[in-house]
A and B are shown apart, each in its own frame.
Chain A
Amino acid sequence: MTSGNQCSLYMYGIVRESSRRSFETEGIEGSNVFSIPERDVAAVTHKCGDEPYQSKEDSVVKGWVKKHQEVLDKLINEYGDLLPSRFNTIFHSTDERSAEEVVRQWLADNYQSVSDQLDDLAGKKEYGVIIYYNKSLAAEEIAEESSEVAEMEERIEEMSSGRAYMYKQKLSKLRRQKLSEWLDSREQEFLAEISNVVSEVQAEDLRSKDEDFPVMLKLSCLLDSECEDVLGEVLEEINEESKFNVRFTGPWPPFSFADLGGANGR
């Protein structure tokens, strides 16, 4: 990876900085981390070869990813805010221009949206929220709440085995339908409670009902870091219900909210 020419530039993120600096912290594979400024914003980079970092060895990839995050952490300590890059964001040189010139030109072309984003995200951090539900416990609650399900269960017990078989299929369809309605309703309830206490929320559409331990909601939340406790309290209440398990992570740089006016590629 480090062999060959070092004509490309790996970008960790963008900070509010107007001078060229060399940072004390080491980058990926011991590289020297430095800023490339344009007006009062700067890309934080290291010199690299023109191939992306890739490996089939998980431990190697994990090491690179951790290092990327370490650099971001150091930058956040120093600058407070930044726009984080995705892993492996690498600028390369062209026939006419060096990679550094390409970076500068890119910053100049995108100055307004970069600067606006840094202002918009100032003081805010990203938090991850995943709410898992336990299918069996959910089904128990639905059975307790739904007279329809309970009645059908009772009727089946009194039936002959042939007739019961047909009704069991109906029952299983009814249970699926009730579970889906129940999930929709609880999901909306949680989303509303969480939205009330954060600046912005992004939900990933991934509900899967067939896993043993399915995910009900996966969210990225943007909030002032001093509001972390308030979100924590909302999540605690959800987590206290035995059928839910909440995973709360952060604070992260605003990976899900840094969007340079459509240049984000998502």
Chain B
Amino acid sequence: MEPERDELIDLLDRILEKGVILNADLIIGIGEIPLIGLDLRLALAGIKTMLDYGLWEDWDKAHRAVASQREEG
């Protein structure tokens, strides 16, 4: 499979959480500042992202199909 770079969420996950930061007095502290709004925080938390981006739609449909076949069988 080929890697993707389309989703902003993957970038946010790295750029807000990782990368070189300086813990010296040289920089302005950013740790405690509520930098982003609620929607984005939820998105970063995980599940909402997947639902928003439709990642699970196909899989969920397939899974439901398996489940209903089982019930019928």
Contacts and interface: CB of A to CB of B under 8 A. Distances in A.
B5 A65 contact: no
Given A89-B27, A128-B10, A255-B18, A57 B37 contact: yes
A228 interface: yes
A249 B20 contact: no
Contact of A89 (B4, B20, B35, B66): B20
Given A128-B10, A232-B3, A13 B27 contact: no
Chain B interface SS verdict (over half) = loop
Given A87-B15, A136-B63, A249 B22 contact: no
Contacts of A134: 59, 63
B4 A249 contact: yes
A252 B36 CA distance: 22
Interface of A: 8, 13-14, 50-58, 61-62, 65-66, 68-69, 83-92, 102, 106, 126-128, 132, 134, 136-137, 140, 208, 211-213, 215, 220, 228, 232, 235-236, 239, 242, 245-253, 255-256, 258-260, 263-266
A247 B5 CA distance: 11
B35 A54 contact: yes
Interface in B1-51: 1-5, 7-8, 10-24, 26-28, 30, 33-37, 39-40, 46-47, 50
B18 A260 contact: no
Nearest to A109: B24
A206 to B, nearest CB: 8
A86 B63 contact: no
Contacts of A61: 35-37, 40
A250 B2 CA distance: 9
Given A128-B10, A245-B55, A249-B4, A58 B37 contact: yes
B39 to A, nearest CB: 5
A91 B62 contact: no
A258 B30 contact: no
Contacts of A215: 46
Interface residues of B, number: 43
A85 B16 CA distance: 10
B18 to A, nearest CB: 4
Nearest to B36: A61
Give the most central of A50, A89, A239: most B CB within 10 Å.
A89
Given A54-B35, A58-B39, A91-B27, A86 B2 contact: no
A263 B14 contact: no
Given A65-B8, A127-B3, A249-B5, A263 B22 contact: yes
A211 B26 CA distance: 41
B13 A85 contact: no
Given A90-B27, A228-B3, A249-B4, A84 B19 contact: yes
B40 A54 contact: no
A132 B59 CA distance: 11
Contacts of B3: 127, 228, 232, 248-251
Give the most central of A88, A102, A259: most B CB within 10 Å.
A88
